[in-house]
A and B are shown apart, each in its own frame.
Chain A
Amino acid sequence: MKVLILGMGNPILSDDGVGLFIARKLQKSLPAVDVSTTAMAGLDILDLIMGYDQVFLVDASIAKRSGPGEVTRFGPEENGVLHLFSSHGLNFFELLRFGKALGYEMPEVGGVYGIEIGDEICFGHQLTPRLKAKAESITIKIAGDIKTRLAG
């Protein structure tokens, strides 16, 4: 089974890039799994995930359900797009349905992990110290969950 972990985020927006940072660390924990990173969204994701059997996404989140560094696993029920107003707004789960509607083999979504970041987003190549300090525990948590799901 071909499995992809896709880290998402912007490499010049500090904590927004936490998904990229964690995805690269996950490669060490899960060497048999492909890891890729992207700063793009929408249709670009389709290009990256096609050809895989299962995909796990790792991204920053401001869900405000928890404190910075906390990990939330999102599911298809999070699909809330009703009022699309910009081509920024192509929804991930909708994209999967779009791919299927066109007859493409689309991967199963193993999990979408949102890593809570603070409201204050600033430009920078590095994570803020408070998030960087939690990177190890975040990686362990997500890696553990992925391993469990792959084993199941």
Chain B
Amino acid sequence: MEVADEQLMLAYRAGDAGAFEELYRRHKGALYRFVLRSIRAREQAEELYQEIWLRVIEARERYEPQAKFTTWLYTIAHNRMVDHWRKRGLQVVSLDQQESPVEPPAAASAQPELILQGKQSLARFLSALAALPPAQREAFLLHEESGLSVAEIARATGADEEAAKSRLRYALSKLKEALSDD
């Protein structure tokens, strides 16, 4: 039977380096994609991704398994993301209903093969995802990549459940429109 994330984190807090390696193996892909598809530039995304894990390492002594480890991990990721957006002069909440500035999405430009291969529908979907307001995109990515529920999304992002639910619904609605164009 697989050891729960929370137990691994407690073991790591107690000094078990192997527990951290296992946690990292489990969550690295989802977290990396969450960050990569939230941030426009790969370089910035990787920097942010590393900062998030370093925060996890720093905060290990304060970790208490009051919630799922995943929720705790993505709370840290959300906070780092907010810091990142603030540095760029953006505010997550105020942009809740606004589209992101129309720029070529970094995620799409990072995967030019999608376009080159003629997978236009995927490119459109990626562009629609990149064009979502940050809060809505975050809600969708948290839902898809980490499997968080609406309540857990609300907790990780510091919003109430209604707001989290609304963001997710709007995000899904816009992405569905991109699908309908196919």
A and B are partners in one complex rather than unrelated chains: no
- Using a CB–CB cutoff of 8 Å, the interface residues on chain A facing chain B are none
